[in-house]
Chains A and B, each alone.
Chain A
Amino acid sequence: QKEVEQNSGPLSVPEGAIASLNCTYSDRGSQSFFWYRQYSGKSPELIMFIYSNGDKEDGRFTAQLNKASQYVSLLIRDSQPSDSATYLCAVKENAGGTSYGKLTFGQGTILTVHP
């Protein structure tokens, strides 16, 4: 069974610090990786996606992918209390060399940014 693992937390960081969220996946053939943010009682909101090894930056967010280690992470710089949420890592399967629709999610990491 293909799995996506995240530390459930909670991860607590002070305002202005860097929050580091980690995710590992079991399917070595996975090609696409996504980070969603989910506020309590709301639906997941797409933050970033990454396909290639290395770093991808978007504002205060940086996604990092290491396919050899089957590891993907999300860094949030200058963390704000409004970043407090559950962060979900999701992996898209690869079937027959093409990316496939289904996403497999981790259980999410609860992040709390305290003033």
Chain B
Amino acid sequence: GAGVSQTPSNKVTEKGKYVELRCDPISGHTALYWYRQSLGQGPEFLIYFQGTGAADDSGLPNDRFFAVRPEGSVSTLKIQRTERGDSAVYLCASSLIADSSQYFGPGTRLLVL
């Protein structure tokens, strides 16, 4: 079956701009996660949804970052007033339930100039 998909695969933007990153989880997976990975590091947790609600957003670095999952399927990570330090690969993962294994999408490579 289809895995986790993410769009766009690459995004180049200018400092101060707004970006949206989209994640489409595996069909039937109720839990969805966003991580951020910088070069040479492991993924860093940002936020996790169980259904439509954010069960844990403790990893969001500041209030410029926001994520939604209005219908319990597709999720959008929104970054306002982007900064060069936001440049990273943004990974989305999903799992059947919160207690089960997480499967990652291909990621969105964000570059802020």
Interfacial residues, chain A to chain B (CB-CB below 8 A)? 4, 8, 32, 34, 36, 42-46, 49, 88, 90, 98-108
Please tell me if the beta carbons of A99 and B98 are within 8 angstroms of each other in the complex: yes
B50: contacting residue among A36, A42, A101, CB under 8 A: A101
User: Given the complex of chains A and B, what is the CA–CA distance between A99 and B50 in angstroms?
Assistant: 13
The 5 closest A-B pairs by CB, nearest first: A105-B42, A101-B98, A43-B104, A101-B48, A99-B99
Q: Which residues of B contact A (CB under 8 A)?
A: 31, 33, 35, 40-45, 48, 50, 55-56, 58-59, 89, 91, 95, 98-99, 101-107
In the complex the two chains form, is A105's CB within 8 Å of B44's CB? Answer: yes
- For the complex formed, measure the closest distance between the CB of B43 and the CB atoms of chain A, giving whole angstroms: 5
Instruction: Say whether A102 contacts B105, CB under 8 Å.
Output: no
Q: Chain A's nearest CB lies how many Å from the CB of B54?
A: 11
Q: Which residues of A contact B42 (CB under 8 A)?
A: 4, 88, 90, 105-108
Cβ–Cβ contact A49 & B106, under 8 A: no
A102 adjacent to B104 (CB under 8 Å): no
Chain A residues, CB < 8 A from B56: 100-102
Main secondary structure on chain A at its contact with chain B?
Answer: strand
Chain B residues whose C-beta falls within 8 Å of the C-beta of A103 in the assembled complex:
33, 35, 43, 45, 102
Distance to closest chain A CB from B61 (angstroms): 15
A4, A34, A44, most chain B CB atoms within 10 A: A44
- Measured CB to CB, the nearest residue on chain A to B43 is A105
Chain B residues, CB < 8 A from A88 = 42-43
5 A/B residue pairs, CB under 8 Å, sorted by A: A88-B43, A98-B99, A100-B56, A101-B31, A107-B42
What residues of chain B lie closer than 8 Å to A100, measured between beta carbons?
A: 56, 98
